[in-house]
Amino acid sequence: TRDALLQWLQPKPLRKLGGVGKVTERMLQALGAETIGDVIRLRADVVLAMPGVRSEWLIHRGLGVAPSSLDVHDEGDGVVRRKSISNERTFRDEGSSEVLLKMLKDLCTELAAEMTKEGLAGKTVTVKLKRATFEVVTRAHSGKRWLCAAEEIWDIA
């Protein structure tokens, strides 16, 4: 029941809400909120401190209300259900380019399978590499058409 959901949800710490990170948590704590229930109790202060969509989102989640469908927006080419999909792996330091390329190809295959399952396609492929020195190198390339097959992703990656 709704009451049971609220009894379960409201004593939870703020960070248990997906999307509430350190910054939002600190902002809410400055208002006196420590739990999800406090967001509801202090909702007028939350609206004043975080006007607009953010406060609405927090209050809805604090009440246990989630969207029944994915958010949609139109980028001119049609309706897009989400902004991104990713596939990442952390692995030990690897110096062999052949091994790295095989890992990248496997990631492309896994990503394509997930995209197919979700009915998604994309235009931009981003490859992020963190070196043993913790230096992060990121490269993105956008194609001219929607893609979702492993080979297409691999060609751009």
Burial of 57 (0-12, 13-18, 19+ CB in 10 A): middle
**How far is it, in rounded angstroms, from Cα 67 to Cα 51?**
20
Question: Would you call 33 exposed, middle or buried from its count of C-beta atoms within 10 A (0-12, 13-18, 19+)?
Answer: buried
Q: What is the pLDDT of residue 157?
A: 80
Select the more confidently predicted residue: 117 or 72: 117
Per-residue pLDDT averaged across 125-135, rounded? 80
Confidence bin at 29 (pLDDT 50/70/90): very high
Measured CA to CA, the distance from residue 95 to residue 86 in angstroms comes to 24
**Which two three-digit tokens encode residue 61?**
């989640």
Between 121 and 84, the more confident residue is: 121
Question: DSSP code of 35?
Answer: B
**Tokens representing residue 136 in the block:** 């992060």
pTM: 0.47
- Could you read off the pLDDT of 42-81 as tens digits, one per residue? 999 999 998 877 888 888 888 888 654 444 444 455 444 5
pLDDT at residue number 32:
95
Distance CA 135, CA 80 (A): 33
Q: Is the pLDDT of residue 129 over 90?
A: no
Q: Give the single-character DSSP code of 140.
A: E
Helices 22-30 and 53-62, packing angle to 10 deg: 80
Write the pLDDT tens digit of every residue in 44-54: 999 999 887 78
